[in-house]
Structure 1
Amino acid sequence: MPSLKNNKSLPTERRTVTSHQPPDTGHRPSTTNTLLGAAFLMATSAVGPGFLTQTTVFTQKLAANFGFVILLSILLDLGAQLNIWRIIAVTEKRAQDIANDLFFGLGYLLSALIVIGGFAFNIGNVAGAGLGIEVMSGVNVKIGATISTLIGISLFLLPNAGKAMDHFAKWLGLLMLLLIAYVVFSANPPLTEALTRTILPQQFDPIATITLVGGTVGGYITFAGGHRLLDAGIKGKDALPLVNRSATTGILVTSFIRYFLFLATLGVVAAGLTLSNDNPPASVFQLAAGQTGYRLFGVLMWSAAITSVIGSAYTSVSFLRTFHPALEKHHRFLTVGFIVISTVVFLWIGKPVQILVFVGTLNGFILPIALAVMLVAARNKRLVGSYRHPVWLQIAGWLVVLLMSGMALNTLIH
């Protein structure tokens, strides 16, 4: 089906910041809420069940040295996200349309990679939501998953779904930060050693790095906030300061959650305690703060999972909706269907732990492809007009492409 190059999706909010009008100062509450909503949508999309498990497992393996992997991943994340969000804003198009305008068919390939990865991840997210409710209340995990699915669906059926999604992601993101901060305090980690090894590591693991970057800005995740800002009408060259602020905030929120969880796990490991192989992050909370900590982990797991369900469904469908007017018209029902099918697959096959690990790495492979496409688009005057993409961002972006490609190949070889 041909791409609709002139298609303009109806934004949820009527506010638009474009290159034809003065930029928003950022002081209006509605704009600030949208910027934070996009940032937290991206951040909470990244912080899912796989994120929690990967962080605790790699901390157990690398101890304080894992802090350096987190620091390196933050720099790579920023290089990827700032490039992608700015190019989406300047072209005023979604990533798949940018790719199709570069080379017809490329957008369909990119969409297929994103949607397949997002769907597989969403099965794990639904499972995590069910597990969170089970830990909190003892309700069967499949019943908990079904309840969570109904909550996610109801959000997209609200009249002003965009704003509801912004607030939902923001408040649950803040809740996750507070919960992990409490456990860090309880775990009493060796802060001096953690900070030292974050700068001067004694051990490095490229697989951990590609998994972290893939789990933070790989696959659908880095496009979540960029597409959300576009839907909200924040686009054009004059909106770039707002886009930069939102993109950076999203990475910082994700990084704080990751580093706090690293410190909490390090405190438990340094005390000589052994994490459970069945559920490493849950055992961190339980060993650090007892039964209360275990219940709090249930709240954290559910918050992380349900926000990832929403982010995955929203972003995956955003890669399909511009390919045909019918998809654009019925995109809400497509999003609901995406969540329902993910839940049905989970209820059928059970807990897809291996899928989570596999797709986390898969997202790391998708990132260099998606980022390379966007960087080439940034130099195409037919797409960006008179806009000149900063040289330092181009260099940073291509470094991310090369490093992630190299680490991905190294992972395949070994």
Structure 2
Amino acid sequence: MKNKEEIVDDKLTTTRSPRSIAMGAAFLMAMAAVGPGFLTQTATFTGQMGADFGFAILLCIIVDFIVQMNVWRIIVVSGKRAQVIANEILPGLGYVLSFLVAAGGLLFNIGNIGGAGLGLNVLFGISAENGAVIAACIAIAIFVAKNAMTVMDRTVQLLAVVKIAILIYIIFVMAVPYQTAVTHTFVPTHIDFYSIVTIVGGTVGGYISFSGGHRLIEGGLKGEKELKYVNEGAITGITVASFIRVLLFLAGLAVVTTGYKLDPTNPAASIFKYAAGNFGYKFFGILLFAAGMTSTLGSTFTSISFLNYTRSEKSANKMAKYNRVFVMAFIIISAAIFYFVGNPAKVLVVVGAINGFILPISLAILLLAAYKQKIIGSYHHPMILTVTGWIVVAFMTFASVETLIKLF
């Protein structure tokens, strides 16, 4: 129903406006896209490529816009989750998509939890492993709260403000080579497909491309009549995520152009420590914890939503009873793997590349669905989104193959 969001948690049902739900979806998507993975990937590739990495950032923003506008619209108009849509395209395809997205989300969540743990390590000196356990407990507490979806939305929005404020401060105290950044962003001297696949995969691939659309479905926004809020939410989320991406790239570039070599074990921390000494390093701890928590919430919510194939309100209510168990298991498994395996920096870069391979598959499925009347009814998907969507599918497929050739 319009103007209502029904959250079944055995105790409480809350009412929120469609715009509020859309903004919750916007920030969930944006903050999932700029988590520890993005911090690590951006710092790593900026250190390796310098200003040329700006081209990958530009492509990432363009791809983000095309993917999110396609995915959000098709999911909301159909009123169905992506895996249900996939099953209607080809029986069994939804289960394959669920496996790919949930598995990628789990792998990414290891780095998300680890990133939050590293943030607490920087701030308080506790071990990253113990920090990850604390972060996992906080995430579980948010999901089992009475107003779980509302608490998640508000937490993500608050942490988004923290991220932006810290990055603006770092940019302010650094001498940023803006002209060099702009020149190489539009006219790069070197193009690296591995960096493109990784940064796109880490910011819009895998579970991230579905986080906003599935959040809108959970909030009750379904049908063509909700497209106004879909557009508002998608554009807001893309703008916020893109702004943070550019800020972090400029901060990293300001450091590497001085000749400073980033620490490969924690490249993002090197940027902040160089920029503002120990004070900047503590700021990085806050940023990393915020990034880890927001991405953990986004990854967990979206990955678990891919286990839901319900179609009726009765079956949805039954599924809601098991949601908390799935959420707790997902977070605990992620934290346990990090606790015993560690090495989040390497995990975050590799998993970003894996999610880059998933993107063309998942986007192609939804683009096919956009022209199936049994799925979307009388809705006419904009031709510009269809054409640019297929261009992204083709480009990411090509870039993924090029990456495989380079790796092997």
Same fold (TM over 0.5): yes
Structure 1 residue matching 2:91: 3-state secondary structure: coil
Letter in 2 for 1:298: G
Please state if 1:400 is matched with 2:392. yes
Distance 1:119 1:157 in 2: 19
Change (3 A) 1:37 1:114: same
Answer yes or no: is the 8 Å Cα contact 1:14–1:232 preserved in 2.
no
Change (3 A) 1:273 1:354: closer
Residue in 1 that maps onto 2:29: 42
Residue in 2 that maps onto 1:315: 302
Deviations along 1:74-125, one digit per CA (max 9) or x if unpaired, are 1111111110110000000000001111111000000000111111111111
Deviations along 1:273-323, one digit per CA (max 9) or x if unpaired, are 221122111010000011100000000000000111111111100000226
For structure 2, the residue ranges without an aligned partner over 5 or more in a row are none
Residue in 1 that maps onto 2:218: 231
Distance 1:354 1:283 in 2: 16
Give the C-alpha shift of residue 11 in structure 1.
4.2
Give the C-alpha shift of residue 328 in structure 1.
4.0
1:355 pairs with one of 347, 351, 357: 347
Residue in 2 that maps onto 1:409: 401
2:88 pairs with one of 101, 111, 119: 101
Residue in 2 that maps onto 1:65: 52
Residue in 1 that maps onto 2:71: 84
Give the C-alpha shift of residue 69 in structure 1.
1.6
RMSD: 1.7
Deviations along 1:38-63, one digit per CA (max 9) or x if unpaired, are 11111111222221111011111221
Residue in 2 that maps onto 1:112: 99
Distance 1:74 1:262 in 2: 13
Distance 1:344 1:58 in 2: 28
User: Which segment is superposed worse, 190-199 or 318-327?
Assistant: 318-327
Q: Percent identity?
A: 47
Distance 1:11 1:236 in 2: 19
For structure 1, the residue ranges without an aligned partner over 5 or more in a row are 1-8, 16-28
Answer yes or no: is the 8 Å Cα contact 1:125–1:306 preserved in 2.
yes
Please state if 1:192 is matched with 2:186. no
Distance 2:221 2:164 in 1: 27
Please state if 1:374 is matched with 2:361. no
Letter in 1 for 2:167: I
Please state if 1:148 is matched with 2:148. no
Structure 1 residue matching 2:262: 3-state secondary structure: coil
Give the C-alpha shift of residue 355 in structure 1.
2.6
Residue in 1 that maps onto 2:289: 302
Letter in 2 for 1:412: L
Give the C-alpha shift of residue 354 in structure 1.
3.0
Distance 1:101 1:14 in 2: 32
Distance 1:226 1:271 in 2: 42
Answer yes or no: is the 8 Å Cα contact 1:219–1:367 preserved in 2.
yes
Please state if 1:74 is matched with 2:66. no
Residue in 2 that maps onto 1:334: 326
Please state if 1:345 is matched with 2:332. no
Distance 1:284 1:354 in 2: 18
Deviations along 1:119-156, one digit per CA (max 9) or x if unpaired, are 11111111111110010111121221111111101101
Equivalent pairs, count: 393
Change (3 A) 1:373 1:11: farther
Distance 1:208 1:40 in 2: 25
Give the C-alpha shift of residue 32 in structure 1.
3.2
Distance 2:135 2:63 in 1: 33
Answer yes or no: is the 8 Å Cα contact 1:320–1:327 preserved in 2.
no
Please state if 1:279 is matched with 2:260. no
Give the C-alpha shift of residue 348 in structure 1.
2.0
Please state if 1:364 is matched with 2:333. no
Residue in 1 that maps onto 2:150: 163
